[in-house]
Structure 1
């Protein structure tokens, strides 16, 4: 199956380092949109408090943009603990909201496996957040690259215009989005 994926960027997220989410084409023709928002900005969070979301929508850019622009809400109860078992700070007893995305890139790729990408997405949704190695950028990369997710976007092919580079090669989602993601199309929101 040939497919389409999107990487969405909020350039102002994470104190100016940026924030990313993604969408990928399913075999039924819908797009699966997903992100780990971390609205509270915690360095470490248990999976339940990292702001993960997913939503399917029609495969039309305006519908996909609508999903990504809608505010996502995260409520963290008093006494909530992070993935290390420590009381979460900041965030306890508050409700947090996501910020709007600022731009997108479209990737048109051959030989995708949406079932495997969904499997990877679900696996990442159950893991705690870590600013160092399990953040929004890592989650998007794992869902869309082909070394585990099966979606067909490769981390090894520099010959292709469509390339999602190693997340370790860029400091923050803005740099990763700008310099390590090739695209079939792009736009500002």
Structure 2
């Protein structure tokens, strides 16, 4: 896979390699997890489950994992394109964040090869329009988008039921048909 073609000006070869490996690794593990996942109680023991917001662990059904795996594959496909393609939904942002965090872990494992700049920070700044999804990982911010402060910061809905819905109704913001309810 040739990940990061559209980001060659900001990704080092080591970072591209780590993103590529993260895509392969997580997609392989997602398929393995799907074979073993029978109930929501099994979600915590999956590769993807460790990267997702823990407060929703009871909602991670086998169908959710199928849809999230499709988002993971969609994000990997977007990263392999020659042109930058924006993420279309909160689920795609979470899938992309999962890939980035796994790539960062792989970079740390290869410390002798990585340089100080090999941490994907520039890529994160360019690839993600915002990092509002990070609020999902801290229980203190549960419901922030519904508060006056959240509305002033223009935080889109972080509600679980909206994760797979497209951000905007524009041709370049279409989600994969499989994830649409």
TM-score > 0.5 by shorter chain: no
More helix by share: 2
TM-score, length-scaled by structure 2: 0.30
